[in-house]
Amino acid sequence: MKSFTALLVISAILGFYFISCQSPEDSLSSSVEKKGDCVTIQQGGLFDSGGNPIETGYDEWGYNYQARIFNGYYCDAYRNANWCQPYVDVKLKMKWNDAWLSNKDCDGDGLLDRHYGFASYIGSGAWLTNHQSGTYEQNGNTCSWNYFVKIIAVPEDAVEVDNVWYAADGTEIG
């Protein structure tokens, strides 16, 4: 019994020795290989479509790329573009999945990936939600409105006929 206990103790000590002697570089490089050499927002070096560095948390416009959320005003989603000024007071919340706009760069272009691994959004499983709200005046009263839409990429086997998409079974998608 004593020899069995001693064998267990020696095995445990040797196990801890080998685990603790593994170099941090080996551990780090193997985890990077498992992630496919993708660059994350936390690592830095990623840029938005305007060439601005992306950081964690919300940016000045209302994007939180790490969380895949936008929370702000409609025009802020478009960097206050001239064409959207009639909608400047419209509140907008967007959420999207990794296929729509990832929070990492796996193709090495310094930008967040879109439909990574696919030539386009088709078949990627990408989706985006928009929830808009605002107010307007009618007959001296302030009225509220809400609008919600979920945009989903068509499946790989979908077919487009005269600008209308159909599922493989012939059901109209949109």
What DSSP state is assigned to residue 81? -
Predicted pLDDT of residue 33? 39
The CA distance from 157 to 159, in Å, is: 7
Domain that holds residue 117: 35-166
- In a domain? residue 114: yes
Degrees (nearest 5) of the Cα angle 97, 78, 52?
A: 80
First to last CA, the chain: 74
- In a domain? residue 130: yes
One digit per residue, pLDDT tens: the chain, 174 residues?
A: 444 333 333 444 434 333 334 444 443 333 333 446 899 999 999 999 889 999 999 999 999 999 999 999 999 999 999 999 999 999 999 999 999 999 999 999 999 999 999 999 999 999 999 999 999 999 999 999 999 999 999 999 999 999 999 999 999 998
- In a domain? residue 53: yes
Long-range pairs for 50-54 at CB < 8 Å and ≥24 separation? Answer: 50/79, 54/112
Strand (E) positions, the chain? Answer: 39-40, 63-64, 69-73, 91-96, 104-105, 127-138, 141-152, 159-161, 164-166
- In a domain? residue 27: no
Q: What is the pLDDT of residues 20-67, one digit of tens each?
A: 344 444 433 333 334 468 999 999 999 998 899 999 999 999 999 999
Predicted pLDDT of residue 88? 96
The type of residue at 154 is V
Beta-bridge mates of residue 105: 39
Degrees (nearest 5) of the Cα angle 12, 18, 21?
A: 135
- In a domain? residue 8: no
Other Cβ atoms less than 10 A from the Cβ of 136: the count is 10
- In a domain? residue 113: yes
- In a domain? residue 172: no
Helices marked H in the chain — which ranges?
Answer: 2-20, 24-34, 74-77
Predicted pLDDT of residue 50? 87
- In a domain? residue 12: no
The CA distance from 16 to 6, in Å, is: 15
Q: Tell me how many domains the chain contains.
A: 1
Predicted pLDDT of residue 36? 65
